[in-house]
Structure 1
Amino acid sequence: MLENQPLSLYIHIPWCVEKCPYCDFNSHAVKEAIPEQDYVNALIADLDADIQRFQLTNRTLHSIFIGGGTPSLFSAASIKSILQQVLSRFDHKPEIEITLEANPGTIEADKFTGFFNAGVNRLSIGVQSFSSDKLIKLGRIHDSNQAKTAAKLATASGVTSFNLDLMHGLPNQSIDNALDDLKTAISLNPNHISWYQLTIEPNTIFHSKPPKLPVDDILWEIQDQGVKLLHEAGYLQYEISAYAKPGYQCQHNLNYWQYGDYLGIGCGAHGKITNSSTQQIMRTVKVKHPKGYLDKTRDFLDQLSEVDQGERAFEFMMNQLRLHKAFSIKQFQTSTGLPISAVIAKLKEAQQKQFMDCQLIDNEEYWLVTETGQRYLNDLLELFL
């Protein structure tokens, strides 16, 4: 039986100073003054439309994530206005996690205390590298010193937690280069580190002009040694690319990976909403371009579709299997509305291939990805197609 899942909110702010050559997110380089107040008004109107569309007035809000683009281009006053209006519309815990993505450039970094006073209690800082030549190659507008300063300002700002976003497998990057980046990040003592391999995505500059990336053997060695460094420093890996000190896992992203619900407001934002009354799972996509999104003559909603029952098992696995945490049969059933018989044969096949283990806890079956399954995750996921 399909049950309503924890409800998060994603808010997309699409503007950035420059478009990075590896970025496939819906972001737009600033060419003129950002229509900040108009966009704030549109976000709240978008939210109200979703609340009415999905009858969400009685749902509790689990977390908020403000992403982009570069949300830290907005003023602290605008962020405060957004958060006050959002939180007035939902029940929520006083300590609800509210994350804002930020650029390490000094202009944005100086706003960190302002963002904290606006209600943000978690910052995610897009460092990507501490190597000057790598930052230039990645099209980043900050330098290594600004990145370090941003981390120190985050520590001093009052936020409960902050994350450093770091890439590896960069153009012409050696094992030592990659591990030096990671050691620098660890030395800044963030509560959370997102450490992931650069991938070349379609519709990016790097896709049309591919840089020379490290070979697979080097990539594997970077990953292997890097995980050991993180573990030795007290960071626990709880997702493919997420490492946190105990108690500091990103609750918003955890809800994504556990196939939770989320509203998406803002340019091109995606949402997923479960309705236990109708036994439906709906997906939304908002108008992508700022001009279209701010056009008062059209709807914010660009696409509305139902997740077919035949797609739910794969969607659940595609998210859940990223986590280094077992899921129960009950969790599968209430998240998808499907009986376990829909996937039990595939789970057992994965077990035979040593991709997954089955554990019995309090007379209930829990399924967990093994180290082999983590290494060959794509092969594991193919079993559920």
Structure 2
Amino acid sequence: MKTRIQRLFILVSMITLSGCYSSIAIKEFNPDPVGSRQEPEYDSLQVVETMETYGSLIPGGLSIQGGYLFAGDYSGRVYAFDIKDFEEVGYASIRNTSIVSPPQFAGDKLYYLYRKKLLPELHLVKYNLRSGKEEMDIEAGVAGDATLHQFESEIIVIAGNEIFFYDTLLIEQKRVTLDEELSCVTNQIDGKIYLGSYSGKVQTVDIKEKTIKKVIPEFSEPVLSITKIGDNFIVSLESGQLIYVGESGHKFWEHETGKTVATPLIAGGYLYVGTLAGTVFKISIKTGEIKAKFDTGGLINLPLSVSGDKLFVPVIDGRLILLNVSKLEPIQTVSFDGRIRTGAVSNGDLIFLGYDNGKIAILKAIPTQVGD
């Protein structure tokens, strides 16, 4: 009897310590069809439900795929919630780890980066969302902070001053070492990733070609954020300058907006910028004219987002401010019990926002009232 109990204890211990201890198994999972989401007309937002994860949510950790909300947190878990009933489907996890970068998706496969609590080395995981099983777990060969990117059949890890290119089997295709570390959040637009450095360089990674090149002349100070418009760039600098510049270095316009670490939003021929000082700017891309601005009285370090004619402004102190896009006039402020941790993501008439203690608020768009 004693031997049986010992064997059972050993078996349970092996299962407990082996790594994954829950799973996401969505047998009917299908990636989002193109153009599947419609934006309703609405007057205001109402919090209808709150979901919870175990740990604090990572910035940019919310994403919607195939009718499910995925959330990455610092406890080492990637959760899946069914949008239809807000129920947790499960989570992918490795014990005693921390998720490093927002997860990426390719078909029915989930990719994520993690590090173990007492070890700095990064691991890259490939996870099957239909079977609920981890297919691969490899050491990325680098430590520290990192970002994960995906485009078609390519998986890219950017960590420190190194860039790793993998195929979907997580076989390393190429490794490139930069001459310095990056100073800003990387920004991916289709098959290109844009990088800013402390020395003022702006470089681009061509994912398919697996090449890196400098695209505009160097600035004399660190680059904080980059986005691309046609053949030109919007660049935010350490000094607080926001510059619209061409590949030749020609400056079309520039403004002293204050420091901006979140990637600016482009919508309808305008640039929407949220600064660390808490000011939101609406700027004409063509002329550089500041059309409107709004002071939130807080700090903005997360990307703005737009839904229809509404602009979502996440303020770190725990407020989501709804502005109209035309004049940046306030429509509504929704307050939460804790700091905002993620930007807002939307699906139809539902908006999701992460805040302190692993909580995810679900807000419903209240339809526009039609006159009699």
Q: Same fold (TM over 0.5)?
A: no
Q: Indicate the structure whose relative CO is greater, using CA pairs within 8 Å and at least 6 residues apart.
A: 1
Q: Give TM-score scaled by structure 2 length.
A: 0.30
TM-score normalised by length of structure 1: 0.29
Q: Specify which structure has the higher proportion of helix.
A: 1
Larger % of strand: which? Answer: 2
